[in-house]
Amino acid sequence: MTAAEPVVRRLRAAGCVFAEDEARLLLDTAGTPAELEELVGRRVTGEPLEHLLGWAGFCGLRIAVGPGVFVPRRRTELVVRLAAPRVRPGDVVVDLCCGSGAVAAAVAAAVPGVEVHAADLDPAAVAVARRNLGSGAVHQGDLFDALPGALRGRVAVLTANAPYVPTAAIGLMPPEARDHEPRTALDGGADGVDLHRRIAAGAPPWLAPGGVLLVETSERQASATAAAMTAAGLRAGVVRDDDLDATVAVGTLGT
């Protein structure tokens, strides 16, 4: 019997779908049998794997994460795929509600030379994002209030993976999300689109001519997110990727 087999059995019994992969990662992370026992015990009680490892895979990068910080999802890679072709070296990219800073880090890796900024209200998220991006690139505060005024009118791409889970649906989320990630990173208000409306309304003065706002949303909520962009004077559209199960609303500032 290999060292992984008992770990796999415990993880599978706890409902971990990718038990073999998780066991390998936990074995690689643990320095001693006691550390492994602690990590496995925390995982089977529902703590996110990424919090135990200290990192999450995203767009081919290892993004630092930590307890109480939103874990980047693979579906959010669609935001990066849409953002990267729209910027060149020297352009400004801003990621609101940045969490760990995964989107900003991935865009910076894809387009060397872009000027990236990220912002979040949560101090824990800001601390982790600064590990991923550098302290000068991450700002703490409520949406646009966090940004340096010098960025106004200069942003080529503004991204946001703002919370979009309707308040009443948070209790239906998997325990590893609802119990271990901050509610502020999940709760999007009554219909899940409250933050999207605020971001769309505030975006135009910050965008450069032809600048683009990219907001992750859901297939069900996409029309409401796009409507908020239209109301703000942006040309709105929606991009869907079934392979990633991802939906992004796209708003462009007219030139």
Give the pLDDT score at 53. 93
**Crossing angle of the two packed helices 19-29 and 4-13, in degrees rounded to 10:** 130
Q: Which two tokens stand for residue 109?
A: 């890796």
DSSP 76: G
pTM: 0.90
Q: What is the mean pLDDT of residues 145-174?
A: 89
Q: What is the mean pLDDT of residues 3-30?
A: 88
d(CA 138, CA 123): 11
Residues 219-234: pLDDT tens digits? 999 999 999 999 999 9
Which of the residue ranges 3-7, 53-57, 114-118, 213-217 would you say has the lowest mean pLDDT? 3-7
